[in-house]
């Protein structure tokens, strides 16, 4: 095949354009720190980067939800442990109050302490996180128990809070009915109130009846505490798993998206030499014009 001067000129210009394009790409990587800035740079890599970035943002949302749930569960744990301690004290007072040899002043002192304990339990039941009542179930924007020991959360709001992590649902919430109400529907606040009145009046039969209710409500609180412990472990494992995935994905994304600056600088230096050689070769091929002699 006959190689014409025009063909040589076109090939020389094509070589220069290729080198300039490569030089421009490397300069862009150096200034941006990224291998790919636009999908047109490398469609396959751009798609992988986009998918990874979306997945990392999704994991961050899940992590936020898990941390929020852990805050609630930790608060449940400390609240129920305090409740369990309070119930032990109530049983001590009930046993003392059932002693028929107590005088009226002794009975009234026990009754008064029980009233104070009941008020303290109300404050625990109305515990809040960021303005939300943790035992409020589906109605967590208003107090759970009133100052006169009445449960304000309706039974239809007895729904436990949960979070979604992909296709998995984790139930982490507890309601006032899980911790402060017996299976027969008696509230801890009513039990303590009746116990206080029974001790104040010296009614032994009523004291024994309420002692049985205290045992039941204490058992329910301990069962709730065990559930909280299981939920804590599940959330911790989930959080650790997501953290590991996040680290792996972030490293993988960096490998895909971030430019190796040292390598880019070296490649730029090489391309500068290649460009100079291409321009010199083209100068030898392309014939001079009148402008070269002016």
Domain ranges of the chain: 62-252
Lowest mean pLDDT, pick from 30-44, 76-90, 110-124 = 30-44
Residue 137: pLDDT band by 50, 70, 90 thresholds? very high
Query: Is the pLDDT assigned to residue 282 strictly greater than 90?
Result: no
- For the cut 80, the answer to whether the pLDDT of residue 9 exceeds it is no
Q: Provide, rounded to the nearest whole percent, the portion of the chain with pLDDT above 90.
A: 49
**180-211 per-position pLDDT tens digit:** 999 889 999 999 999 999 999 888 888 988 98
pLDDT number for residue 294: 42
Res 174 pLDDT > 60:
yes
Q: Please state the rounded mean pLDDT for residues 126-146.
A: 95
Residue 242: count other Cβ atoms within 10 Å of its Cβ: 17
pLDDT for the residue numbered 120: 97
Of the ranges 17-21, 98-102, 158-162, 217-221, which one carries the lowest mean pLDDT score? 17-21
Does domain 62-252 bear CATH number 3.30.1310.10?
Answer: no
Mean of pLDDT values over 84-88: 94
Whole-prediction pTM: 0.72
- Give me the DSSP letters along 155-208: GGG----EEEETTEEEE----HHHHSB-TTS-BHHHHHHHHHHHHHHT-HHHHH
**Which of 132-146, 187-201, 207-221, 269-283 is the least confident region?**
269-283
Give the tens place of pLDDT for each residue, 223-269: 999 999 999 999 999 889 888 888 877 776 666 666 656 765 676 66
Check whether 2 has a pLDDT greater than 80.
Answer: no
Segment 44-66 mean pLDDT: 83
Q: How confident is the model at residue 57 (pLDDT cuts 50, 70, 90)?
A: confident
Beta bridge partners of 153: none
Q: What is the DSSP string of the chain?
A: ----HHHHHHHHHHHHHHHHHHHHHHHHHHHH-BS-SSTTT-HHHHHHHHHHHHHHHHHHHHHHHHHHHHHHHHHHHHHHHHHHHHHHHHHHHHHHHT-TT--HHHHHHHHHHHHHHHHHHHHHHT-EETTEETT-TT-TTS-SB-TTS-B-S-GGG----EEEETTEEEE----HHHHSB-TTS-BHHHHHHHHHHHHHHT-HHHHHHHHHHHHHHHHHHHHHHHHHHHHHHHHHHHHHHHHHHHHHHHHHHHHHHB--HHHHHHHHHHHHHHHHHHHHHHHHHSPP-GGGG-
Over pLDDT 70: what percentage of the chain? Answer: 72
């Amino acid at each position: 095949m006959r190689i014409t001067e025009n063909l040589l000129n076109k090939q020389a210009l094509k070589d220069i354009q290729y080198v300039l394009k490569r030089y421009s790409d490397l300069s862009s990587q150096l200034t941006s720190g990224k291998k790919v800035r636009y999908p047109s740079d490398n469609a396959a890599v751009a798609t992988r980067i986009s998918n990874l970035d979306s997945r990392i943002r999704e994991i961050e949302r899940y992590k936020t939800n898990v941390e929020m749930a852990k805050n609630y569960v930790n608060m449940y744990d400390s609240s129920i442990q305090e409740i369990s301690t309070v119930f032990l004290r109530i049983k001590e007072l009930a046993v003392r109050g059932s002693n028929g040899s107590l005088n009226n002043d002794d009975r009234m002192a026990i009754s008064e302490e029980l009233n104070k304990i009941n008020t303290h339990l109300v404050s625990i039941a109305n515990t809040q996180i960021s303005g939300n009542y943790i035992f409020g179930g589906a109605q967590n924007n208003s107090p759970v128990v009133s100052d006169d020991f009445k449960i304000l959360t309706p039974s239809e709001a007895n729904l436990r809070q949960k979070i979604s992590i992909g296709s998995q649902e984790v139930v982490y919430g507890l309601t006032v009915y899980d911790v402060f109400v017996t299976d027969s529907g008696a509230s801890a606040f009513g039990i303590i109130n009746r116990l206080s009145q029974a001790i104040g009046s010296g009614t032994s039969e009523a004291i024994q009846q309420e002692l049985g209710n205290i045992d039941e409500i204490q058992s329910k609180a301990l069962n709730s505490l065990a559930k909280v412990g299981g939920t804590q472990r599940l959330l911790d494992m989930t959080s650790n798993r997501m953290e590991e995935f996040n680290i792996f994905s972030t490293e993988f994304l960096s490998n895909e998206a971030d430019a190796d600056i040292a390598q880019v600088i070296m490649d730029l230096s090489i391309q500068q030499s290649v460009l100079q050689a291409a321009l010199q070769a083209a100068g030898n091929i392309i014939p001079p014009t009148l402008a070269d002699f002016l």
